[in-house]
A and B are shown apart, each in its own frame.
Chain A
Amino acid sequence: MGVASRVAHFALVDVNNFYVSCERVFQPRLERVPLVVLSNNDGCAVARSSEVKALGVKMATPWFLLKDLAAQHGIQALSSNYTLYGDMSERVVSILRDFSPDIEVYSIDESFLRIDAVTHLYPSSLAMGEVIRSRIRQWTGLPVCVGMGASKTLAKLANHLAKKHPVFNGVCDLNVLSSPELEHWLSITEVGEVWGVGRQLTLRLQAMGIKTVWDLRCASPKMLRAHFGVVMERTGSELNGISCLELEQIVPAKQQIIASRSFGRAVISLEELEESVATHMARACEKLRTQSSVAAMIQVFVRTNHFKPSEPQYSPSIAIGLVEACDDTLVLTDAALSGLGRIFKAGYRYKKAGVVLSGISEKAQQQSSLFDDRSWNHKSAELMKVMDALNTRFGKKTVHSAAMGSTMGWAMRSENRSPHYTTCWDELPFVR
């Protein structure tokens, strides 16, 4: 272990069965009940409790395929409650920030921490991992596992080991394992568990005799580069404890923003399609403004249900370039609706609609057109600012364009959503 010179040391903290665990914090009755959380529109299982995993249910199994098994074993299903998960995720991240200032929020339930400058505050890195684990459990009710290693790839692998093997008790640091121990754990773990090695690459690696993580670690960098390219060579180095990937603390502005949803039922009329396109555009524009960008190009698409081949199929899309890049919901909605009008054909049963914003640049470097009208620009910015502020303060869709309509009969299905326990005065949990 490096004491004098600082060797990279990363931790990956990941909440176990995140969505399921969030639901259980607020519904203690669901503890030990087999539970799945369903994707948008209640389509398929996106989170499974350990009891459900034990029944052999795979990730993304459609709910209608599970109904028999569910009846047999009493599996409960909840619609996803992203408002709740988002709030719980923020709590976890804010607790982690107390442990290290260098943190990368990698996804809603996983964060990387750089810990080499802080482990000396604890008796050992494992002790630090244990403090992280018990504090998050105590403060939020969520169970986490902590994986540690000399690179992000090793930390991610350690997290997998900590989750899978009870002997680690939820905390695994590959840096403190002896060489034989390390070899043991890496050689019983399939190569497909390595971060960034997907199913395709796994097959190609296996064909070359690289079946376990240990095999990949021992493979020659030259060979990896020749056969798989520089990314796999880097993965090999990372597995050998040579840190090549730094924390990504600044989220780069998105170059493309997509907002789309399937409908809760088939939609036939242009009016309803217009409402949904306007709603998606409003959400896309909010995202655009939060990253202080403008878009120069929009795309609108609608789609019939391709899971019903017996019905007539039609999936058009249209791209519309704007004279001047902008972030004004009203302007972009206008453009999107005129595009929709051009691709809409009556007589189809539509299942999905969406918009894509592209040609994205920073608002501060906005190109103005030859016929720029400064006073209008200023008014638009003021209007958007007021609208966003009102919607943030008084709830989504407090102020919206009339094009979005008010019935939302097409809106997605979410029939069994738990309350917004942490973010809504009227939905707080009850205590007697």
Chain B
Amino acid sequence: MNPPVLRPIQAISELGLSQAPERLAFDAPPSELRLLVHGLSAGFPSPAGDYVEDALDLNQYLIQNKPATFLFTVRGDSMMGASIEDGDKVVVDRALKPKHQDIIVAVVNGDYTIKRLYKYRGTIELRPENSNYPAITFTDGAELQVWGVVVGVVRKYINKAAPHAQQRHTTHS
């Protein structure tokens, strides 16, 4: 093996760092000086350094269009067949066009309802996924008011009541 090469200072540009002075926020503490983040070691540079990516972000996974996305809390069991249960949070995107078979939030008689949209050969229905409930049908002239399209569901199994309890209970035994 060759001995580690002492890299010349030009290598800064290879690391994707600019040598131009960078304007910092006035109150930035010294620890935020960006040029120090990658420290130029005299030894062998970290082979992982070039592969660093952002951590996984659930927002990114669930939300395509932030200004048009809202969350609802589900009540009741009318969508059990679609694995949407009482207490679940659903992510609703208002920018999407509702299609046949989409799960949607609609406004019926001034209330929100979550159902699967059935739109086929001129028939429009809101169908629950639970045989205990009837489908909501629309007679001639009635207008279906779609509030948004459900894009996902979030369910938490532990610490449901206290969202920040975990921080307090972290122990290193």
Interface on A for B, CB 8 Å cutoff?
28-29, 31, 90-92, 94-95, 138-141, 292, 362-364, 381, 385, 394, 421-422, 425, 428-432
Contact = CB atoms under 8 A, between A and B. Distances in A.
Contacts of A29: 110-111
B160 to A, nearest CB: 10
Given A430-B75, A431-B90, A140 B68 contact: yes
B117 interface: no
Contacts of A425: 89, 163
Contacts of A139: 65, 67-68, 94-95
A29 B107 CA distance: 9
B48 to A, nearest CB: 29
A422 B73 CA distance: 11
A428 B26 contact: no
B73 A428 contact: yes
B164 interface: yes
A425 B78 CA distance: 22
B73 A394 contact: no
A94 B67 contact: yes
A141 B92 CA distance: 13
Given A139-B68, A140-B67, A292 B26 contact: yes
A91 B69 CA distance: 10
Contacts of A91: 66-68
Of A139, A141, A292, A425, chain B has the most CB atoms within 10 Å of the CB of A139
A363 B65 CA distance: 37
A385 B113 CA distance: 43
Given A139-B94, A140-B67, A140-B68, A292 B27 contact: yes
A429 B112 contact: yes
Interface in B75-89: 75-76, 78, 89
Contacts of A94: 66-67
A150 to B, nearest CB: 29
A432 B75 contact: yes
Contacts of B113: 431-432
A269 B113 CA distance: 50
A431 B95 contact: no
B112 A28 contact: yes
A172 B123 CA distance: 39
Nearest to A27: B110
Contacts of A428: 71-73, 89
Nearest to A421: B70
Nearest to B105: A431
Contact of A431 (B27, B66, B67, B72): B72
Nearest to A422: B70
B71 to A, nearest CB: 5
Q: Report the 3 A-B pairs with minimum CB-CB distance, sorted nearest first.
A: A139-B68, A29-B110, A364-B26
Contacts of A95: 67
A431 B73 contact: yes
B134 to A, nearest CB: 14
A324 B158 CA distance: 49
25 contacts: A28-B107, A28-B145, A28-B147, A29-B110, A31-B110, A90-B67, A95-B67, A138-B68, A138-B94, A138-B95, A139-B67, A139-B94, A139-B95, A140-B67, A292-B27, A363-B26, A381-B27, A422-B70, A428-B72, A429-B70, A431-B90, A431-B112, A431-B114, A432-B76, A432-B114
A94 B66 CA distance: 9
Nearest to B26: A364
Given A381-B27, A430-B74, 12 more contacts: A94-B66, A139-B65, A139-B68, A139-B95, A381-B29, A428-B72, A428-B73, A429-B73, A429-B112, A432-B76, A432-B113, A432-B114
A432 B111 contact: yes
Contacts of B66: 91, 94
A8 to B, nearest CB: 28
Contacts of B72: 428-431
Interface in B32-72: 65-68, 70-72
Contacts of B89: 425, 428
A432 B112 contact: yes
Contact of A28 (B67, B110, B114): B110
